[in-house]
Each structure stands twice: as structure tokens, then as C-alpha cells.
Amino acid sequence: MDIFVCIGSSCHLKGSYDIIQLLNERIRRDGLEDRVEVKGSFCLGHCTDGVSMRVGDTIVTGVSRENFDDKFEEYVLGALER
Ligand code: FES
């Protein structure tokens, strides 16, 4: 499964590189390297909603350091379990 993190200018300013780092750390910690790959993406069209990412067909907005684990569990682990 691919996760595309928006690195458009608005999301970049809101910390997309932090989110990419958190994703890579969490994927390593959970041993998901063979199942999940993190990629960068151009603007996903949700610039005012904080850092956006696309997990499969789902756009996840407002990702921050604070809510990262919740979003990861809901959208990434949730999608892998389906
Ligand atoms: S810059 Fe990220 S959604 Fe537009």
C-alpha cells in the first residue's frame, strides 16, 4: 500500500516533512516495511486543512504531530486490516 504525503507548499509549511519522518519511524517500529511505502505527492486539494495525505483512495487531512498516532491507527492500520 502506498501513502502519499502532500509536499505542496501549504502542507510543507505545516510540517509534511515531520509527518513523513513520523510515518517512516512508525512503519519501522510496527514492522510494516514490506507492506507500506511512503511517497511524496503534489497538492491534494485540501490546502487549508493542514497536512494532507492519501492512503489508498482515502484523503486524510489535518495530520499533525499531535494526532499522528490516531490517524495512523485509523487510516493506515485500518486499511491494512480490511
Ligand atoms: S498543499 Fe497540501 S493539499 Fe494543497
Q: How many CA atoms lie within 13 A of 10 on its CB side?
A: 15
pLDDT at 5: 98
Hey, what domains does the chain have and what are their CATH numbers? 2-81 (3.40.30.10)
- In the structure, what pLDDT confidence band is assigned to residue 61 with cuts at 50, 70 and 90? very high
Cα 20 to ligand 1 centre (Å): 14
Distance CA 78, CA 42 (A): 24
Task: Tell me, in angstroms, the distance from the centre of ligand 1 to residue 50's CA.
Answer: 8
In this predicted model, what pLDDT tens digit does every residue of 15-53 receive, in sequence order? Answer: 999 999 999 999 999 999 999 999 999 999 999 999 999
Residue 13 C-alpha to ligand 1 middle, in angstroms? Answer: 10
Measured from the Cα of 11, ligand 1's closest atom is: 2
Give the ligand 1 atom nearest the CA of 49: 3
* 82, pLDDT greater than 90: no
Amino acid 28: pLDDT: 98
pTM reported for the whole predicted model: 0.94
